[in-house]
Amino acid sequence: MARKTPYGYTGLLNLLFGREMTVKKLKTKDLKIGMYVEKAGDLSNDPPFESRNFFISSPNDIQKLIDNKIGEVFVDTSRKADVYAPSESEENVETFEVELGELAVGRDVPVDIFWMREQNDNRILLRQGHTFSEEVEEVCRGSGINIVNIRVSQRKLFDKYKHVIDSERSEQQEKGYSGKYLDNKKVEEYHAFKNNYLPINVYVIVSDTKPPFDIYAIEKEKPATVLEKDAFVGKDRFDELVERNIEFFIHKDHKEAFRGYLLEHTQKSRDTAARAAFVREGAKLLIEDLAENPRSEKLINDSKKTIADLTQVVLDDPNSFRGLMKINSYDYYTFTHSVNVATLSIALAISVGVTKDDGLHDLGLGALLHDLGKTKINDKLINKPGKLTDAEYKTVTHHVTLGYEMLKENKSIPERAFHPLLEHHEKLSGRGYPNKLVADDIHLLGRITAIIDIYDALTTQRSYKKAFTPFDALSLLSKNEEDYDRNIFTQFVQLIHKQET
């Protein structure tokens, strides 16, 4: 069915302003594209599929209702996708063709938009002055409408509109954006999401409990509630969440409730995956706390204990710990990346024979702290949904020295733990930063972290690009063999091979 669209979207506010909600019963066969279904079927019975609050975006939506023997629906006549269910015909209108993608989502159109159903049969889709909203675009795409028509008499209006849109998109491209992020609104929505939601591992949820926080998933690029605060989670509900195999999030307003739940329930679970998830989620919260209070010796000592726990997780199941870690897949988050790097660095160090006496725990601590300096750089650069410009890249490289400055006065951090932090961007070839160290000038712990840092970055999904597969990431790194320690890299390839088979 079409996407459920919650109240509050800009386009719908424009539509609903000043109107009363009117729900009418309608025969399913009389539905039209663009209508908003409040509920399908008898109010006392729920059909065996999502059947409330959706737009009819294609003939398939209507047919699905009919196939499921839904004879009547309740339509909210005050809510429409601003699309005329293409039935209003205007004969003898001279038009020219435009690709749907030339229209800017979220902007008012200064012209009438038509759909040519057949030769010389123009059907009005969107009136001049209405908003080309996400809902309108969805209805068009769902109906297979990729080309629309505009009156020849309105060409000058459209050319002026297109010039403004093209100029904005060109400016965005110069800033490193592409795809949907040529739209400033999409960039702002992305930053708002990143600033307000935190990814969580589903295995922190314990059966037969009531998590005191809402849980969200991404649906149609927007957060949607999948589990309400204080809702009971039985075994079947838990299994259902796990089987969805997607990323889940909490709102930052619920972070402390989430922390309390970890300590009260997840920490006490006997399930191996839950214990591993507890260690990882706790580590992410610790790093965030350290960003606010880097001189706290207590937090560093707590981090040391977390590293010992992470090490034990790896030692307990060296061939499959990566699966238990549930590597982040939706998008890059600094704190998630930090825990990934710490976990994989520990695993690789064990593979190459590093022991506790050699600095195994110091490596883990340094890897956990390696990107702390990014918290001192503008979020909009760190989380930019696009390629950094040269000037932006130079600014971001300062995170290494910023992290060191934040932590150098903390007496609880062993000296060896600074090698991963200071050297994770150094390369044996001398082409790294910040100090352009060469070969033997780079410590063993720094060499390990350097490989893991770039590998995790490559294999993590970004909003503007797909994640590399492990094979593709390793293949890419192998083409720069002069940058990385060959023996350590070979061990890492073998380690990842074991994890993937």
Give mean pLDDT, residues 261-280: 89
Give mean pLDDT, residues 143-153: 86
pLDDT score of 143: 65
Is pLDDT of 111 > 50? yes
pLDDT score of 48: 53
Confidence of residue 6 (pLDDT cuts 50, 70, 90): very low
Percent of the chain with pLDDT over 70: 83
Confidence of residue 14 (pLDDT cuts 50, 70, 90): very low
pLDDT score of 121: 65
For the chain, helix, strand, coil in percent to 5 are: 50, 15, 35
Name the CATH code of domain 10-80 (choices 3.40.1350, 1.20.5, 3.30.1490, 1.10.150).
3.30.1490
In 317-346, which positions are buried (b, 16+ CB within 10 angstroms) versus exposed (e)?
eeeebbebbbbbebbbbbbbbbbbbbbbbb
Kindly tell me the burial class for residue 311, based on how many C-beta atoms sit within 10 Å of its own C-beta (0-12, 13-18, 19 or more). Answer: buried
Percent of the chain with pLDDT over 90: 45
Confidence of residue 9 (pLDDT cuts 50, 70, 90): very low
Average pLDDT, the chain: 83
Looking at residue 244, its amino acid is R
Is pLDDT of 1 > 50? no
- Cα 92 to Cα 120, 123, 149, 196, 286: the distances in Å are 7, 11, 13, 52, 68
Which letter does DSSP use for residue 91 in this model?
A: T
pLDDT tens for 154-180 read: 999 999 999 998 898 888 888 888 877
Collapsed DSSP state (helix, strand, coil) of residue 198: strand
Looking at residue 433, its amino acid is Y
Sheet order of strands, 72-80 included: 23-27, 72-80, 35-40, 52-55
pLDDT score of 173: 86
Half-sphere exposure of 378 (CA within 13 A, CB side): 9
Alpha helices in 334-458 (DSSP H): 334-351, 360-369, 379-382, 390-397, 399-407, 418-423, 444-458
pLDDT score of 37: 81
pLDDT score of 219: 86
What tokens were used for 394? Answer: 């130079």
Is pLDDT of 16 > 50? no
Higher pLDDT: 3 or 246? It is 246
Kindly tell me the burial class for residue 126, based on how many C-beta atoms sit within 10 Å of its own C-beta (0-12, 13-18, 19 or more). Answer: buried
What tokens were used for 154? Answer: 């309105």
Is pLDDT of 466 > 80? no
Confidence of residue 19 (pLDDT cuts 50, 70, 90): very low
What is 374-389 written as a DSSP string? Answer: GGGS-HHHHT-SSPPP
pLDDT score of 464: 72
Rounded Cα distance, 350 and 339, in Å:
17
Confidence of residue 352 (pLDDT cuts 50, 70, 90): very high
Of 139-143, 237-241, 308-312, 341-345, which gets the smallest average pLDDT? 139-143
Give mean pLDDT, residues 390-418: 94
Confidence of residue 331 (pLDDT cuts 50, 70, 90): low
Q: Which residues contact 22 (CB under 8 A, 6 or more apart)?
A: 76, 77, 78
Of 215-224, 237-246, 269-278, 323-332, which gets the smallest average pLDDT? 323-332
Domains of the chain, by residue range, sit at 10-80, 89-168, 192-500
With tokens 């949907």, the residue in question is 180
pLDDT score of 245: 84
Confidence of residue 322 (pLDDT cuts 50, 70, 90): low
Rounded Cα distance, 215 and 223, in Å:
9
Name the CATH code of domain 192-500 (choices 1.10.1040.10, 1.10.1740.10, 3.60.15.10, 1.10.3210.10).
1.10.3210.10
Of 215-219, 292-296, 328-332, 398-402, which gets the smallest average pLDDT? 328-332
Give mean pLDDT, residues 307-329: 70
Are 10-80 and 192-500 in the same CATH fold? no
Q: Which residues contact 317 (CB under 8 A, 6 or more apart)?
A: 272, 324
Cβ count near 297 (within 10 Å) = 11
Give mean pLDDT, residues 233-257: 93
Confidence of residue 397 (pLDDT cuts 50, 70, 90): very high
